[in-house]
A and B are shown apart, each in its own frame.
Chain A
Amino acid sequence: MAILSVENVNKRFGGLKALDNVNLQIDAGTVHAIIGPNGAGKSTLLNCFVGRLEPDTGSVMFDGSSLLGIQPHQINQLGVSRVFQTPEIFGNLSLLENVMIPAFAKRDGSFTMNAWMSVSSESDLRDMAMDMLADVGLEAKSADIAGQLSRGDKRRLELAMCLVQQPKLLLLDEPTAGMARADTNNTIDLMKRIAERGVTMVVIEHDMHVVFSLADKISVLAQGTVIVEDLPENIKGDPRVQEAYLGGAHL
């Protein structure tokens, strides 16, 4: 059953047609990768899922409700979490606080005037956040300031921040961009573990190593439109994919 269904989505930037009639069905419990050459419209498409961009026409339905015309925080409250290309964390706060904050959002909603409560009395959320940090291997650093972490650790923290909300859909925008090989492999292992728990993921990625070790299904986007959608083993040999990536040159 499709948890995210994208139908006939079009988006123009002036004269440029960034998305040309995109159709996409993401099945619950699967890892779906969206690949494509630079400028294919991958990030534009992702931004249409999270309320940052509004498509000109078409529909984006998530779990029975439309994602169009609502704010990013409302989309998150529906159960969609997002990982950014550059990790977006709370750099001035401790790791524990970084993970507790999303847990508060999940429990208390988008705004609560809880100025008279005390954070230190929230032992349930604290335990939950500590478990999550342990899960990504950062529990020893829980009191550290997040801004001082390495790139790979920041990514893991960001994943913990998303996972603590138990999202129905996790969107990842080039999760291993700019990472050393060791960090990339650690991140892939972590994402594999997450996928095994049945979290639905949409991954946008350049790195084929990442894509083929994770994805259940791959959509190839070129010039704003989905040219192929298939299982990973079939994608590798598909001539249309090679043409899109290599501009028609024969190997």
Chain B
Amino acid sequence: MKMFSMDKKDILLFLCFSVAVLTGPIILEPFGAGYPDLLQKFAIFGIFALGFNILFGLTGYLSFGHAAFLGMGSYTAVWTFKLLSMNPIPAIVFATVMGGLFAALIGFISLRRSGIYFSILTLAFAQMSYNLAYSVLTPITNGETGLQLNQADPRVLDVMFGRDYGAVLPSSDFFGLDMTGYPGFYFCGIVLIICFFIAMRIFRSPFGMMLRAIKSNQNRMNYTGFNTRPYTLAAFVISGMYAGLAGGLMAVTDPLAGAERMQWTASGEVVLMTILGGAGTLLGPVIGAGAIKYFENIFSAFNEGILMGIYDFLPETLQHIMVSVSGLFVGEGWHLTLGALFMLIVIFLPGGLMEGFNRIKTLVTNRTGGGSDGAATPAAAE
């Protein structure tokens, strides 16, 4: 069928991606990342970055306010839990829809400008949302405490279907399957696979080609007969829906929503993930998201005790100096490591980690006298 025609290479890429996600707990075990809490984060931030890349990587509009949609998704999901059901499906559906609606509103205004002005507008809107969530919207967001579940919540659908959680605080469950631990990861993982599939379709579609053309030369697009506004708005809304979905999944794995999810640092994080992995590439943002969450997990876990252990072989004075120097880069200060890492990537690999992989690939295939399966052709960073 014409509609579902996919290149063999794309089918292979999709299958590899799916297998990698589903076997994540086994593959990442040797790296000390094979446990569900971290894997969930990989999947959720992977979705967030995947959507952000459609706006930033494809269309070339750098938004600094996507955390607003992430937060919107979380609040919507928690409210769905409270009012309707603890089943994650309605929660993520509503989170996606609300993320998209909120993005349509902000995008409609922000997309009147491009370049730095667009970035500043999105940043302003996100900070506004963050401050509103803290102050006047407290009845909806529960302010500083954050929105939480309550035993007395109505949960209309659950009551209707006779689902009773008794006297304990309920947690989200997928038809009886508790959404914590591995089931929680597999739920997020399958959503990530679906999201990846959709992103791949968009990348290979005429619509995706138009987005890349807008990034390349918006003036020519206008004189070629395209109205670029609806294209950029569609890209903005799609990325907002991805962000809303990611926020919803955060609430699924941990039913709680706080305003800090909307803060500019969270918006900046997804920019870092996308650039680190490789903006405009299909896999890059997911890898970038994984890399940042992995390093966050490793470096922030270090403390002075562990460092002392590492430098145990040194004389005592030297040991203390080394510990206090490297102590700046770990624990609370792990952002310093992230910053250094980011600088190295941007300077030496402007195309992100994906460019690095491709360089290694060409190096290896050249050395082995050109691969036999045609993989030697530099596949434009995918």
Contacts and interface: CB of A to CB of B under 8 A. Distances in A.
Interface of A: 50, 71-73, 76-77, 81-82, 84, 88-93, 97, 100-102, 104-106, 108-122, 161, 165
Nearest to B201: A116
Contacts of B7: 120
Of the candidates B209, B223, B228, B231, the one having the most CB atoms from chain A within 10 angstroms of its own CB is B223
11 contacts: A88-B220, A88-B223, A90-B213, A97-B213, A102-B225, A115-B205, A115-B207, A115-B238, A117-B205, A118-B3, A118-B204
Interface magnitude class on chain B: 20 to 34
Contacts of B201: 115-116, 118
Contacts of A113: 207, 234
Contact of A50 (B2, B210, B213, B223): B223
Of the candidates B5, B217, B226, B238, the one having the most CB atoms from chain A within 10 angstroms of its own CB is B226
Given A89-B220, A115-B208, A122-B206, A73 B215 contact: no
B219 interface: yes
Given A93-B216, A101-B224, 18 more contacts: A72-B222, A73-B224, A73-B226, A76-B222, A82-B223, A92-B212, A102-B225, A110-B227, A111-B231, A115-B201, A116-B3, A117-B205, A118-B3, A118-B6, A119-B206, A120-B5, A120-B7, A165-B225
A101 B222 CA distance: 12
A100 B215 CA distance: 16
A117 B225 contact: no
Contact of A110 (B2, B213, B226, B238): B226
Given A93-B213, A102-B225, A121 B220 contact: no
Nearest to B234: A113
A77 B206 CA distance: 18
A119 B205 contact: yes
A93 B212 CA distance: 8
Nearest to A105: B225
Of the candidates A81, A82, A111, A161, the one having the most CB atoms from chain B within 10 angstroms of its own CB is A111
Of the candidates B207, B216, B224, the one having the most CB atoms from chain A within 10 angstroms of its own CB is B224
B83 interface: no
Nearest to A72: B222
Contacts of A71: 222, 227
B223 A115 contact: no
A119 B204 contact: yes
B206 A114 contact: yes
A237 B228 CA distance: 48
B216 A115 contact: no
Given A72-B222, A88-B220, A90-B213, A112 B227 contact: no
Contacts of A121: 2, 5
Nearest to B204: A118
A84 B82 CA distance: 59
Of the candidates A50, A108, A113, A118, the one having the most CB atoms from chain B within 10 angstroms of its own CB is A118
Contacts of B212: 90, 92-93, 97
A90 B216 contact: yes
A214 to B, nearest CB: 22
Contacts of A93: 209, 212-213, 216
Contacts of B234: 113, 115
B223 A76 contact: yes
A91 B215 CA distance: 10
B202 interface: yes
Contacts of B181: none
A115 B202 contact: yes
Contacts of A84: 223
A242 to B, nearest CB: 35
B230 interface: yes
Contacts of B221: 73, 101
A111 B223 contact: no
Interface in B1-53: 2-3, 5-7
A97 B219 CA distance: 16
B301 to A, nearest CB: 41
Given A90-B216, A111-B231, A120-B204, A76 B209 contact: no
Nearest to A92: B216
B207 A114 contact: yes
A115 B61 CA distance: 18
Contacts of B204: 118-120
Interface in B154-186: none
A76 B3 contact: no
A236 B210 CA distance: 46
B219 A88 contact: yes
Contacts of B213: 90, 93, 97, 101
Given A89-B220, A119-B204, A120-B204, A111 B6 contact: no
A77 B221 CA distance: 12
Contact of A117 (B206, B224, B230, B238): B206
Given A92-B215, A121-B2, A114 B222 contact: no
B215 A112 contact: no
Contacts of B227: 71, 73, 110-111
A110 B205 CA distance: 16
A73 B5 CA distance: 31
A111 B224 contact: no
